[in-house]
Structure 1
Amino acid sequence: MVPGNFLGEPPRAPTKSVLRLVFALAGVVAFVCGYIGLSQHIGRIGGYGNNPFDLIYYDLQLFVLGAPPLDDGGPFPPLLDFARFAAPAVTAYAVVEACRLLFATELRRLRDRNARGHVIVCGDGLVADTLTRRLQSAGHRVVAVRSDLMTPSGSGQVARAARDPSVLRGAGIGRARAVYACTDDSATNAAIGLAAARHGRSPLAVYAQVADPELCLALQARHLGLARNPGARLDFFNIDDLAARKLFAEDPLIAVDGRPPRVVVLGATAFGRAVLVELARRWRVRDPHGARLVPLVLVDEAATEAAAQLTHRYPFLSRVCRIIPLDGGLGDMLGHLPRAGFPLPPDRVFICYDDEERALKTALTAEQLWHGGPGSMVVRLDRLANLREAFGSGYGLGVLDDLSGALRLYGVVHAACDPALIGDDLVERLARVIHESYVVARRRHGDRPGSNAALVPWEELPESLRRANRAQAKDIGRKLRELGCALSPRVGPGDEHALEEPEFERLAILEHQRWLAEQEASGWRYAPHRDDERRLHPALSPWEDLREDLRVRNHEAVRELPVILADAGFRIVRVGHA
């Protein structure tokens, strides 16, 4: 069984505190009424001590259902009549409350073990607390597995405890809907996530937080590379990456006076790098032909090295942005940029330092950056994010000036702890890119949306077709293993394997076989002409019998695979022989 202190107690409801206060006041009133009533009663009947100590003694006995002056019956004074019923009621409540507290842990363990459709959050740091509040506010029941209560021996002991099957069973993993591993240690989160995926059952979703974005990519690659995925869905997420995606979803990069915006990123931190990559992704959608590059200045002590790493990891960056790395600080940038033809102020500024006080100080003292318009200067904050309530009337208090709306304090953890955003895992993101590549390819061949139900944006795509894209994305690892290849994060030097024609042919055959089995299992049958209502399709035949134009479609789809993976930060490497 799970030790009771492994599971965090949910916040106490305010009504319980009110009820306790009411009964405490009732106890005081019963004691006072009993004292006065006993004094009146004993004075009338005589035979008992009537000094203050005797009265207090008899009065206390009322709370345990008896006092000698009451043994001969009434009538009793009204105050005593009230006290002889109120006092035992207070005692009964105290006994019930004591039993509840005594057995609360056992009852909670039993309730958690038998819960259904709940969410398990492991950890008790800022991320875990924020996520728990967001889930509860959305109406989900949350079982918290608190790391500080598991053991005082350190994160290694926490990891061993969290991956113990009895701990997971105690949290009700067999009937849980999702598990979030959000401790402050990435290794612990990975251990919890892997254990939960191993012991959980579909449709359980498991999400493990990883602070290092490169390690996060590596773990995603290894999970996606499995030949056969387990029943539970496992994904690893990075707070900075999610926050950057949320930032540009809410406030996209737009053209300024018909030109690309001029952007400055201060700090090549994990969040700074995520911001750079995400804004490039978004701008590429707005300008798919790459006719207008976004001028972007990256300011950091190691800006040149960071820019080289990013363009190596994400090749599309150089086709979208003109990155100007400046090795140094803010002062170096302010002196260099005007001479380099980059006028100040920039249109958008992202202050991404991990040191929150430094970030806020930079924003409040660099007046050269204040003139980019409303919300143009974004400051990364975590624990100081509540300060945003103090800046400008838009946040309510308005006790500090927000620089005419230019200043935006951005709480990274609060933005990233969105269950829907975390649930948008790697398979989902790859499925979207696969669909977008398919739409572009079909339109290039002259297809129009009216002729094909799949030629619509992802948000409008029928759920059956979304599932098909997800299945294709989930199968990438198996197909690469068939070629003796694997996924690798585009981190550091390495040789990317360039697929050759026989390998593309093999991938096309494997993908067709997977699609064929999937469609036949769904009740589709072969017919010369497609009929979605009757579930008839001309491609439902073995590869050898497939029409040439349908083979070409499969070839086009698999040829996009290296590009799709590169956009996600992966490359294909050779690890064996086909």
Structure 2
Amino acid sequence: MPGSSLGEPPRAPTMNLLRLIFGTIGLLSVVFGYLGFEEYLPEHSPLDLLYYDLQLFVLGSPPLDDGGPIPDLLNIARFTAPAVTVYALVEAGRLLFATELRRLRARNSRNHVIVCGDGLVASTLARRLRAAGERVVTVPAEAVVAEPGVPHPGTAHTLTARAAAARDPDVLRTAGIRRARALYACTSDNATNTAIALAAAQRNRRTPLAVYAQVSDPELCLALQARHLGLAEHPGARLDFFNIDELAARNLFVRSALRPVRGGPPRVVVLGATVFGRAALVELARQWRMRDPGGDSLLPIALVDDEATRAAAELTHRYPFLSRVCHITPYDGGLAELLDTGFPLPPDQVFICYDDEEQALKTALTTEQLWHGGPGSVVVRLDRLASLREAFDVGHGDRVLDDLSGALRLYGVVHAACDPALIGDDLVERLARVIHESYVVARHRHGETSTANPALVPWDELPETLRQANRAQADDIGRKLRELGCALSPRVGPGAEHVLADHEIERLAVLEHQRWVTERVATGWRYADSRDDARRLHPALSTWESLDEDMRERNHDAIRELPAILADAGFRIVRVRHA
């Protein structure tokens, strides 16, 4: 990993080797010194000889002041014993000042990453950041002075402060917050993480800072995202909140997309309406929507949980698109009761999402009715037991357990979620993707093709300049809603959703056009009768009144799609005051 090791204790193998070498030298010095004094002072008692011998370690022994022929063994000891003493003094000084040197070095670090917390999420994230070549400073949540001589793994820094919370501005300043590139708040307490994130975001900045706070409650996470996105103007720091289970569920389908079975949608069973179970169900629906955009075949999902009916109702309320994409059949009760009454369908894909990891693993290994799918069809959510996957991994040389002919897949949520790139895919980024997808659908509906409009391509193929334009549009949602006296609210529980009236759509369309013109002009675009992306010319770079009807309608479409875009992310528009 890049970075200097100034002020850092040597790594453990080097430390142990040095101690072994100097310990051996010290022992030999005692033996050689005693034997040498025995020859040099034959008339003295053994206690006198031992006393004179030990004095060699304090850089001198009085009998040697008289000079004379000195035995070879004693000659060796009178140099090696002081060397051991010098090493001991250096080691003591290093241990005494190592912590302060690490603090000083961290304070002066530049473009580094700060990870606050000392649990599994924090340690996993720090490890993956180091593996990506980042310089990492770790700050324990409620730190105490570290045990001397116990360095942090790798060459990263560990800051400690007696009874000091990671959210303390002094601790953040010591961590080099003014010059850091990013900060991750990953303690086990939501309030602490939020306080750390807010304290970091409010610091005077010399460089742009991205701040990410872990929130274990998905509804609170959604509410905090809404409040930040709802700002009319955002601070210099980029702030976002993330949930480990939701990130892991999103990452689950990155490399294993949902595929049709027998020419139709696969039959899916989700065991456990936990945070991960609910998030996995939503991601399953998103996957199938991309696979079947016309909604010709609903994805059948059996949700098994003691409160499956309530969970299914809450999910379809929070994410209205679920009703259009999948058919959720809730089964209240446990899997055992369901099997006793006859399993409703042989599943093609099973997701075992219990928070109790032992129960999840036991269910996967003892319920043969779940083994009918193909490779990777039985996904088991694990956390601290995720290392067990090596015992089943067919590609692992030390595999000791059968993986049910490839059907079993142990999925570690913490490792999957602690992907810096995935965490960095914040709410603005996700909304920008949906905005682009909605734009593509709308333009195709009007008969346009990618030949005439180069923006009609998938997000991953979109030029970075156009991606940034979509991000700017998403980032401006809060300002637009404030103009109407509205705000974002998580779709949690009953509530009155504000329906945009025609005059409000017109008003927001004008604002969106003005924002777009300002953004394009700032990047060098100019007005022209015909569009030319290479020369940065566009016919819409004019006032709203000068736009033709087709250009105005594009802005109207973008605003009409806004409630659906926000609902896709779990939000709704609510009226808070009259504009």
TM-score (norm 2): 0.92
Q: How does 1:7-86 map to 2 (within 5 A)?
A: 12-43=11-42, 50-73=44-67, 76-86=70-80
Give, in whole Å, the separation in 2 of the partners of 1:392 and 1:547.
61
Deviations 1:472-509 (A, max 9, x none): 11111111100111111111001111111111111111
The match for 2:545 is 544
Of 493-502 and 12-21, the range deviating more from structure 2: 12-21
Of 531-540 and 98-107, the range deviating more from structure 2: 531-540
Give, in whole Å, the separation in 1 of the partners of 2:513 and 2:16.
63
Deviations 1:33-63 (A, max 9, x none): 33333333445xxxxx643322322222222
Give the conservation status (yes or no) of the 8 Å contact 1:280–1:320: yes
User: Is residue 271 of structure 1 aligned with residue 271 of structure 2?
Assistant: no
Of 388-397 and 351-360, the range deviating more from structure 2: 388-397
Structure holding more helix per residue? 1
Q: How does 1:261-300 map to 2 (within 5 A)?
A: 261-300=266-305
Give the conservation status (yes or no) of the 8 Å contact 2:303–2:331: yes
Give, in whole Å, the separation in 1 of the partners of 2:68 and 2:484.
96
Give the conservation status (yes or no) of the 8 Å contact 2:309–2:330: yes
The match for 2:170 is 166
User: Is residue 560 of structure 1 aligned with residue 540 of structure 2?
Assistant: no
Structure 1 pair 79/441, CA: closer, same or farther in 2 (3 Å)?
farther
Give, in whole Å, the separation in 2 of the partners of 1:573 and 1:337.
45
Give the conservation status (yes or no) of the 8 Å contact 1:488–1:573: yes
Deviations 1:84-108 (A, max 9, x none): 2222222212111111111122112
The match for 1:232 is 237
Q: How does 1:184-223 map to 2 (within 5 A)?
A: 184-199=188-203, 201=205, 202-223=207-228
Deviations 1:101-123 (A, max 9, x none): 11122112111111111111111
Give, in whole Å, the separation in 2 of the partners of 1:213 and 1:544.
44
Deviations 1:439-485 (A, max 9, x none): 22223333332333322222222222211111111111111100111
Give, in whole Å, the separation in 2 of the partners of 1:160 and 1:33.
50
Give the conservation status (yes or no) of the 8 Å contact 1:173–1:200: no
The match for 2:180 is 176
The match for 2:91 is 97
SS at match of 1:139: coil
Deviations 1:356-386 (A, max 9, x none): 1111121122111122122111111111111
The match for 1:154 is none
The match for 1:343 is 345
Give, in whole Å, the separation in 2 of the partners of 1:158 and 1:308.
48
Identity %: 73
| Structure 2 segments unaligned to the other structure (5+ residues) | 1-7, 146-160
Tell me by how many angstroms 1:74 deviates.
Answer: 6.1
Counterpart of 1:241, as a letter, is: E
Q: Among 137, 140, 143, which residue is 2:131 paired with?
A: 137
SS at match of 2:143: helix
Give the conservation status (yes or no) of the 8 Å contact 1:242–1:416: yes
Give, in whole Å, the separation in 2 of the partners of 1:228 and 1:11.
47
Structure 1 pair 17/446, CA: closer, same or farther in 2 (3 Å)?
farther
Structure 1 pair 418/336, CA: closer, same or farther in 2 (3 Å)?
same
Structure 1 pair 138/55, CA: closer, same or farther in 2 (3 Å)?
farther
Structure 1 pair 10/449, CA: closer, same or farther in 2 (3 Å)?
farther
Counterpart of 2:165, as a letter, is: A
The match for 2:265 is 260
The match for 2:308 is 303
Give the conservation status (yes or no) of the 8 Å contact 1:150–1:161: no
SS at match of 1:449: coil
Give the conservation status (yes or no) of the 8 Å contact 2:496–2:574: yes
Tell me by how many angstroms 1:10 deviates.
Answer: 9.2
Structure 1 pair 454/18, CA: closer, same or farther in 2 (3 Å)?
farther
Give, in whole Å, the separation in 2 of the partners of 1:299 and 1:10.
53
Give the conservation status (yes or no) of the 8 Å contact 2:167–2:192: no
| Structure 1 segments unaligned to the other structure (5+ residues) | 1-8, 44-48, 152-156
Q: How many residues align?
A: 556
User: Is residue 570 of structure 1 aligned with residue 575 of structure 2?
Assistant: no
The match for 1:3 is none
SS at match of 1:372: coil
SS at match of 1:296: strand
Give the conservation status (yes or no) of the 8 Å contact 2:442–2:557: yes
Give, in whole Å, the separation in 1 of the partners of 2:518 and 2:265.
47
Give the conservation status (yes or no) of the 8 Å contact 1:179–1:205: yes
Give, in whole Å, the separation in 2 of the partners of 1:292 and 1:10.
62
The match for 2:100 is 106
Of 513-522 and 524-533, the range deviating more from structure 2: 524-533
Structure 1 pair 147/162, CA: closer, same or farther in 2 (3 Å)?
closer
Give the conservation status (yes or no) of the 8 Å contact 2:510–2:544: yes
Of 533-542 and 78-87, the range deviating more from structure 2: 78-87
Structure 1 pair 89/503, CA: closer, same or farther in 2 (3 Å)?
same
The match for 1:451 is 452
SS at match of 2:254: helix
The match for 2:479 is 478
Deviations 1:223-254 (A, max 9, x none): 00001100000000000000101111122211
The match for 2:329 is 324
Counterpart of 2:190, as a letter, is: S
Structure 1 pair 453/268, CA: closer, same or farther in 2 (3 Å)?
same
